[in-house]
């Protein structure tokens, strides 16, 4: 047990300049971490008044870390805190929380959060009574501590479902009436508004209410008199005057002002108002049990809060301080109000004020923006493209309000808004204005107009009267803005041009002029302009029919890209680069190595920077993914030039080696895609790439089994394109059996959908190593049949039976020998034929639905029928006719399915994309425009016939299995897993079951007439003859297909050189 004094001395030693003493102290803390009494000693030091504050803070941090790791560790066998110590901590932590200064209290709060999450209510039943006792005192610090913990209790259940939140019932009943009374009393103390501790308590109570009502209002808080009292108090908080300490004062930083407790209380009150309005403001959109409550909220509350947020926003016009988050939340409330007829009428009477005095000024480039632009352009760019910043930004909320208004109430507002914006564009295009000094031009308004017009793109592109004017607007105003002396206007011009790049230009010269302006902006002296230009360039490259104008400047263009990537971490930059590579295709080949080297360097830089960033900063991570995605696009673009791949392998191999381990968890799919290209399109699988095999296997076995499906592609390439190495590799064959066994032999921990890659891997080996892996067949059959007896997933059953079919095709005699030895032959065939016999109500097969599935089954059955009769049990020989009937039926279905596929492919070439006729994105029965008296959700009142019609229309398209004809209620629910794996090649592709059937029947008829007669028992001669005739057709088609492939290869060689394939 560690004494308090001893712990203080050890903590002091951890801060010693003497490295040896520091190391010794840290080792002591690690060694005694889970010793009985140590964690209690740390808590005692944290609250010891006589101890120095740095020591108390250090003790609190160590205490928090120990509680976080050892209170209730998830991993089996992890170190745990002693139960007696945990009891002592729970008995004393509330008092410690109350008595400690803020730097210690913040750490102890995190500890209480862990304790509550783990122990409340079952293991900490005394917590609630203790908190109730604290609430009944007059001690503000004790009450504040209690409310803090009650908030943690409620927060634990924020995201839980209704049944799990029932635990909160006693908390709601026991403390919330007291919290409400307390809140009302605090708000009545107008003379004490300057007391920071009381303001902080108000904020805590509101946050507690927010957590308790996060998903819905609990029954105990829903009665109108109770809910009304809470809502009244929250409304009062939003409307009350802020003490002078929180307003505009010289020398007080904006950040310090926004953290003032009363502003925080207003913010959380607005959070609640927004949540309630979005959830209950439209009764038509509510669940039936909430409709009465929602009607009451709509009538009594929604309008009052709307008036309040309008008053709040009005203070902006008077240049009074209003924190950004409160502006954002207020505008969110206004945006929600657009959809309701009553609330929209309230806004409508103030619409010009809202649009032109509040919303538009918020979208203008401010002095604060300009200062950031000049002093820290990188931060300006980050804020402009940061999704998290957008969530809290007043500007984003203002733009969202305008877009929602013009989408849902466009008839009244779109003309007004566009008229206002066009006036600004016209004024700024006036030569007399353009000749003014840069700072005297109305550049802020011009930038905002471009921003808003671009933000309204979806509406403008589809609305008659506006979409026709987009091209003239781009030619007359946006093009002109590229030469504006103010950098932010040039940036907005590039961005605005980019969002409209895809429209249909009547005059192609306008498109080319805008394209050229965007390209020129890449060399702008201002970095933010370059970034917006790069992103716009991606849109223009995507939309351009002819990008030949880029070809001469492509090297310089790529140089600019990588200069920018060295300065800015942005996935948007990489996305544009990816678009260019994809558009240029094979023409990118001369630059492929340089591009890959630069992208690898950029990736390593981003990877090194990730360790220094907050968990919330996703910019670098997204850019890393973008680099890898761009590399994959390069590899795909030069896939017909295999001689380039060994060169590209050199910079890629170090990244692959590191990122195929757990270090690459966040980019694993992208890394596997690169591995797939490198092992498929290279002339061969190099020895260096084979070094990655054990890394992939280890990752799957230790932490990455969820990526098995992704790993299958490169593994297939290793086996199919490196067969000789695979067969002589010291562990590869064993690795395959272990990986398949990992998912097939552990049905308790590996659910059926995650077991699907196992049989696919076994098929890959059997197909590519025919006659060379006899030693693997018994294990393959054993694990497949074991899982077959345990799974109920139809698709997994199919794949497991297909392992048997593949084994038969691999070597029927060997397979039958293994099955006979284990007494499995009859049961396996019975299961297989039972599956093949099952049909849906529409006559389709319930099992083996894909062409590939049917083909594998046909090959297995053909091998079975071709096997020596003596290797088959007598009962199987007696069923020759039944087997042939099943085979013939499968071949007929396979032939028909191939015809349907070819028809669908022909339709795809016609531009329908495989969608059934009559189905269109534009075929929409509903209009977004609500009208003055319309509420969102009015269309919900469809009658049953309309709903049935829409459901049938939706069901007409099955994205996984093609078009569905009829109502197959008894179809399997795992159809979504079915694909025909078009991108995976196999030696089975070169085997035609129709030709094999023809050959088998001819051979048997000439060598064993008795067997031939047995095979034909019950078989329709006309059907069999038709299949024999189809085999001749297939022979001709195979020759034609081979000639076409050879012709294509020659054409590519002529175009790209002898190395092309």
**Interval 317-325 mean pLDDT:** 88
pLDDT digits (tens, 9 = 90+) for 243-293: 877 676 666 677 778 888 999 999 999 999 999 999 999 998 888 888 999
CA–CA separation, 412 vs 923, rounded Å? 25
pLDDT digits (tens, 9 = 90+) for 173-232: 999 999 999 999 999 998 888 888 999 999 999 999 999 999 889 999 999 999 999 999
CA–CA separation, 238 vs 187, rounded Å? 11
Taking every pair of C-alpha atoms in the chain, what is the biggest distance, in angstroms?
Answer: 111
630: Cα within 13 Å, side-chain hemisphere: 35
Closest CA to 265 of 205, 181, 193: 205
Beta carbons of 856 and 988 less than 8 angstroms apart: yes
pLDDT digits (tens, 9 = 90+) for 800-824: 999 999 999 999 999 999 999 999 9
**Given its phi and psi angles, is residue 981 left (phi above 0), alpha (psi -120 to 50 degrees) or beta?**
left
Helices 169-188 and 127-135 sit at what angle, rounded to 10 degrees? 20
Band of pLDDT at residue 622, cut at 50, 70 and 90: confident
CA–CA separation, 741 vs 754, rounded Å? 12
Give the CA distances from residue 487 to residues 179, 451, 528, in Å, rounded to whole numbers and listed in that order: 53, 14, 8
Rounded to the nearest 10 degrees, how much is the dihedral formed by the CA atoms of 899, 760, 785, 730? Answer: 150
pLDDT at 925 over 50: no
Beta carbons of 12 and 55 less than 8 angstroms apart: yes
pLDDT at 981: 47
CA–CA separation, 179 vs 964, rounded Å? 58
Q: Which residue pairs from 897-904 have beta carbons closer than 8 angstroms and sit at least 24 positions apart in sequence?
A: 897/851, 897/854, 898/851, 900/962, 901/851, 904/962
pLDDT digits (tens, 9 = 90+) for 335-364: 999 999 999 999 999 999 999 999 999 999
pLDDT at 136 over 90: yes
Provide the CA 208 distance to its chain's centre, in angstroms: 30
Cβ neighbours of residue 165 closer than 8 Å, sequence gap 6 or more: 157, 215, 218
Q: What share of the chain in percent tops pLDDT 90?
A: 72
pLDDT at 942: 45
Helices 708-721 and 668-680 sit at what angle, rounded to 10 degrees? 10
Which one-letter DSSP state was computed for residue 37? T
Beta carbons of 492 and 509 less than 8 angstroms apart: no
**What backbone torsions phi and psi does residue 824 show, to the nearest 5 degrees?**
-110, -10
In this structure, the chain runs to a length of 1061
239: Cα within 13 Å, side-chain hemisphere: 13
Mean pLDDT rounded to a whole number for the chain? 89
Distance separating the N- and C-terminal Cα atoms of the chain:
73
Which one-letter DSSP state was computed for residue 845? B
Q: Which of 10-14, 681-685, 1043-1047 ranks highest by mean pLDDT?
A: 681-685
pLDDT at 917 over 50: no
Tokens in use for 77?
């066998």
Query: Of 82-86, 568-572, 580-584, which range is least confident?
Result: 568-572
pLDDT at 618: 53
CA–CA separation, 799 vs 794, rounded Å? 9
pLDDT digits (tens, 9 = 90+) for 62-117: 999 999 999 988 776 778 899 999 999 999 999 999 999 999 999 999 999 999 99
Which of 869-878 are b and which e, b meaning 16 or more Cβ less than 10 Å from the residue's Cβ? eebbeeebee
**Interval 1051-1057 mean pLDDT:** 65
Tokens in use for 1005?
């008829």
CA–CA separation, 867 vs 292, rounded Å? 74
**Interval 28-55 mean pLDDT:** 91
pLDDT at 619: 55
**Interval 1015-1021 mean pLDDT:** 94
864 three-state secondary structure: helix
* pTM recorded for the entire structure: 0.79
Closest CA to 803 of 875, 862, 853, 749: 853
pLDDT digits (tens, 9 = 90+) for 939-996: 444 444 554 554 454 444 333 233 333 344 444 545 545 555 445 678 999 999 999 9
Query: Of 151-165, 797-811, 884-898, 937-951, which range is least confident?
Result: 937-951
Beta carbons of 635 and 681 less than 8 angstroms apart: yes
Beta carbons of 56 and 45 less than 8 angstroms apart: yes
Beta carbons of 220 and 169 less than 8 angstroms apart: yes
Band of pLDDT at residue 620, cut at 50, 70 and 90: low
pLDDT digits (tens, 9 = 90+) for 477-528: 999 999 999 999 999 999 999 999 999 999 999 999 999 999 999 999 999 9
pLDDT at 914: 44
pLDDT at 1046: 86
pLDDT at 1059 over 90: no
pLDDT at 79: 84
**Interval 776-794 mean pLDDT:** 96
The string of DSSP codes covering 782-844 is HHHHHHHTT---HHHHHHHHHHHHHHHHH-HHHHHHHHHHTT-HHHHHHHHHHHHH-B-TTS-
């Amino acid at each position: 047990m560690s004494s308090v004094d001893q712990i203080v001395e050890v903590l002091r030693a951890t801060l010693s300049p003497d490295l040896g003493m520091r190391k010794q102290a840290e080792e002591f803390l690690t060694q005694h971490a889970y010793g009985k009494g140590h964690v209690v000693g740390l808590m005692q030091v944290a609250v010891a008044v006589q101890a120095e504050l740095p020591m108390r803070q250090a003790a609190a941090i160590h205490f928090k870390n120990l509680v976080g790791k050892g209170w209730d560790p998830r991993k089996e066998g992890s170190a745990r805190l002693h139960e007696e110590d945990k009891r002592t901590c729970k008995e004393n932590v509330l008092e410690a929380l109350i008595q400690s200064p803020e730097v210690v209290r913040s750490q102890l709060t995190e500890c209480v959060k862990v304790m509550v999450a783990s122990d409340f209510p079952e293991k900490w039943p005394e917590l609630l009574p203790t908190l109730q006792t604290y609430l009944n005192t007059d001690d503000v610090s004790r009450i504040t501590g209690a409310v803090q913990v009650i908030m943690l209790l409620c927060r634990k259940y924020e995201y839980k479902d209704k049944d799990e939140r029932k635990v909160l019932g006693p908390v709601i009943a026991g403390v919330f009436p007291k919290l409400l009374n307390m809140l009302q009393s605090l708000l009545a103390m107008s003379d004490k508004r300057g007391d920071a501790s009381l303001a902080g308590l108000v904020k805590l109570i509101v946050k507690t209410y927010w957590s308790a009502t996060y998903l819905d209002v609990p029954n105990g808080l829903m009665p109108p008199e109770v809910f009304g009292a809470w809502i009244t108090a929250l409304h009062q908080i939003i409307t009350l005057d802020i003490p002078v300490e929180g307003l505009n004062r010289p020398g007080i930083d904006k950040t310090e002002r926004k953290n003032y407790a009363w502003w925080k209380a207003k913010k959380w009150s607005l959070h609640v108002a927004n949540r309630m309005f979005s959830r209950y403001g439209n009764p038509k959109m509510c669940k039936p049990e909430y409709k009465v409550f929602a009607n009451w909220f709509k009538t009594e509350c929604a309008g009052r809060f709307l008036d309040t947020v309008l008053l709040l926003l009005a203070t902006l016009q008077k240049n009074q301080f209003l924190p950004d988050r409160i502006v954002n939340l207020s505008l969110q409330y206004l945006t929600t109000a657009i959809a309701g007829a009553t609330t929209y009428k309230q806004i409508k009477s103030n619409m010009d004020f809202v649009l032109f005095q509040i919303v538009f000024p918020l979208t203008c480039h401010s002095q604060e923006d300009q200062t950031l632009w000049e002093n820290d352009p990188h931060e300006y760019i980050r804020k402009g493209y940061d999704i998290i910043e957008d969530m809290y930004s007043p500007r984003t909320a203002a733009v969202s309000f305008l877009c929602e208004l013009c989408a849902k109430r466009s008839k009244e507002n779109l003309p007004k808004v566009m008229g206002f914006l066009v006036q600004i564009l016209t004024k700024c295009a006036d030569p007399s204005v353009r000749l003014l000094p840069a700072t005297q031009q109305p550049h802020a308004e011009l930038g905002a107009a471009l921003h808003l017009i671009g933000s309204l793109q979806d509406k403008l592109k589809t609305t008659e009267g506006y979409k026709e004017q987009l091209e003239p607007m781009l030619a007359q105003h946006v093009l002109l803005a590229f030469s504006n002396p103010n950098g932010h206007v040039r940036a907005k011009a590039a961005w605005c041009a980019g969002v409209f790049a895809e429209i249909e230009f009547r005059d192609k010269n306008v498109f080319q002029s805008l394209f050229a302006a965007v390209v020129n902006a890449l060399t702008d002296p201002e970095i933010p302009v370059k970034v917006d230009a790069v992103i716009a360039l991606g849109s223009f490259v995507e939309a351009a029919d002819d990008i030949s104008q880029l070809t001469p400047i492509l090297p310089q263009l790529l140089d600019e890209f990588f200069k920018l990537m060295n300065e800015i971490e942005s996935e948007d930059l990489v996305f544009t680069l990816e678009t260019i590579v994809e558009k240029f295709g094979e023409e990118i080949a001369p630059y492929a190595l340089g591009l890959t080297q630069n992208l690898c360097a950029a990736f390593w830089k981003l990877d090194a920077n990730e360790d220094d960033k907050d968990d919330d900063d996703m910019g670098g991570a997204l850019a890393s993914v973008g680099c890898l995605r761009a590399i994959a696009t390069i590899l795909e673009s030069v896939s017909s030039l295999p001689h380039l791949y060994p060169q590209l392998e050199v910079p890629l191999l170090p990244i692959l080696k590191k990122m195929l381990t757990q270090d690459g968890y966040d980019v694993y799919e992208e890394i596997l895609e690169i591995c797939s290209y490198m092992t498929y399109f290279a002339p061969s699988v190099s020895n260096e790439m084979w070094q990655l095999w054990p890394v992939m296997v280890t990752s799957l076995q230790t932490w990455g089994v969820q990526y098995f499906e992704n790993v299958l592609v490169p593994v297939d390439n290793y086996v199919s394109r490196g067969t000789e190495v695979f067969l002589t590799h010291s562990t590869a064959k064993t690795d395959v059996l272990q990986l398949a066994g990992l998912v097939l032999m552990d049905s308790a921990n590996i659910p059926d959908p995650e077991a699907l890659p196992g049989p696919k891997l076994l098929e890959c080996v059997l197909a590519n190593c025919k006659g060379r892996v006899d030693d693997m067949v018994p294990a393959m059959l054993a694990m497949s049949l074991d899982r077959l007896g345990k799974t109920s997933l139809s698709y997994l059953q199919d794949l497991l039976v297909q392992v048997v079919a593949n084994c038969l095709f691999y070597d029927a005699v060997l397979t039958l020998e293994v099955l006979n030895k284990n007494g499995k032959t009859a049961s396996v065939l019975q299961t297989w034929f039972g599956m093949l016999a099952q049909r849906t109500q529409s006559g389709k097969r319930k099992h083996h639905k894909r062409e590939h599935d049917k083909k594998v089954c046909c090959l297995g059955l053909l091998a079975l029928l071709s096997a020596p009769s003596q290797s088959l049990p007598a009962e199987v020989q007696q069923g020759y006719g039944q087997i042939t009937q099943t085979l013939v039926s499968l071949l007929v279905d396979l032939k028909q399915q191939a015809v349907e596929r070819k028809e669908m492919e022909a339709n795809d070439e016609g531009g329908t994309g495989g969608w059934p006729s009559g189905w269109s994105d534009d075929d929409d029965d509903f209009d977004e425009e609500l009208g003055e008296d319309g509420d969102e959700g009015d269309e919900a009142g469809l009658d049953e016939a309309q709903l049935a019609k829409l459901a049938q229309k939706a069901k007409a398209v099955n994205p996984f299995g093609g078009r569905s004809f009829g109502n197959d209620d008894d179809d399997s629910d795992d159809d979504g897993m079915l694909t025909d794996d078009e991108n995976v090649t196999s030696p089975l592709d070169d085997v035609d079951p129709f030709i094999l059937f023809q050959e088998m029947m001819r051979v048997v008829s000439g060598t064993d007439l008795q067997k031939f007669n047995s095979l034909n028992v019950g078989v329709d001669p006309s059907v069999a003859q038709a299949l024999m005739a189809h085999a001749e057709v297939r022979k001709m088609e195979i020759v034609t297909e081979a000639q076409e492939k050879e012709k294509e290869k020659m054409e590519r060689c002529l175009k790209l050189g002898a190395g092309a394939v």
